[in-house]
Structure 1
Amino acid sequence: MKLLIIEDDINLASTLARRLTKQGFSCEVAHNQSDALLSAHKHLPDFILLDMKLGDDNGLALIKPLRSLLPQAYIVLLTGFASIATAVEAMRLGANDYLTKPVDMATLLKALNADLNTQNVSDVATPVMSPERLEWEHIQQVLHSNNGNVSATARQLNMHRRTLQRKLQKKPVQQ
C-alpha cells in the first residue's frame, strides 16, 4: 500500500510517515505542491494524505490535478481549520474523506480503509478542541487572510464588527 503524505509541517509529516509505515504503508513525503505532483507521478500512490494549508498555498488546489493523475487513489484531506464549506468543496473537487487535526491513528487508519489492527494502534487519547477554541482558531485564520482588517473579517464571518472586536480582546481558550 503506497501512501503519499503532502504536509508542509516537516515534524508532523515525518511522524505520520513513521507511524503509518508501522501499519504497513510504504510512505513518501512531499512538503509543497510541486514536490507533491512530482512524487505522485513518480510513485503512483494508492492513498494520499493532503494538508489543506501548504505554506501560502491551498491544498484544495491540488485535489483536481492529483485526481486526474491518479483516478483510483484514495485522497484524505487533513485540516486544522475545519468548516462545512471547505468539507463540501473538498468532496466536490474529488477528495474521498476530510479529517480535522489533531487526528488519532485509529481514525486515520479507518479513513484510509486499512484493516484496523487494534493491538498496533496506540490508544493514547488525543485532545479534542473545544468549540470555543475552534471558533478562536477560525477567527484568527479569517483575520489573517484579511491581513488584520477587522471590518472585512467581521463581514466575512457575518458578525457585527464590535462583537468581533470583543472576541479578539479575550485571551485564546486553552483547548
Structure 2
Amino acid sequence: RVTPPRAQVRERVWQMMKDVKAMEKHVEEQNELNDHLEGKIQKLSEGASREKEIIRMLVRHGMEGVEDRIQLLNDAVEANVTAVRGELGQLDDALGKKQDEQDQRLDQLERFHRKLASKTRAKLAAVQGRVESAEGKLASEEGEMRDQRERVKRLVERKIRRELGGLRADMRERFGEEGA
C-alpha cells in the first residue's frame, strides 16, 4: 500500500475544511434569511390581527351601512392578500437563489472530489508501475549477483585446487628427498 505524500494529504484536508466552512457559512446565511422572513411574517400577522381588531371595533360601534362594512372588509382582505403575496414572492425568489447557489456549490464540490480522486488514482497507478518496475530490476540484479557469486566461487575453487595440486607435488618431492 502506497501512502500519498503528506503535502497532498494536507492539501486535501485543507480543501475539505474550506468546503465545510463554505457550507457552514451557507447554512448560517440560510438561517439568517429564514429568521428575517419569519420576522416579516410575524409583522404581517400582527398587522392582520390589528386590522381584525379594527374591523371588530367598527362592527361593534355599529357602522351604519352594510355596504360600508363589506367595503372595509374587502379592503382589509385585499391589503392582507397583497402583502402576503408580495412576501411569498420575495421568499420564493430568495429561496430559489439560495437553492441555485447551493446546487452550484455542491456541483463544484462534487467535480473537485471527482477530479481529486481521478488524479489520486492516476498517481497511484504511476507509483505502482514504478514500484513494479523497480521490483523487476531488483529481481534481475539479484539473479545477476547470484550468477556472479557462483562464477567467483568456481574460480576460487579452481585456483585453490591448482594451488593444492602444486603444493602436493612439492610435498611429495620433499618427502621423497627426506626418505632417500
TM-score (norm 2): 0.18
Higher helix share: 2
Structure richer in strand, relative to its length: 1
Which protein shows a greater Rg?
Answer: 2
Structure number with higher relative contact order (C-alpha < 8 Å, ≥ 6 residues apart) = 2
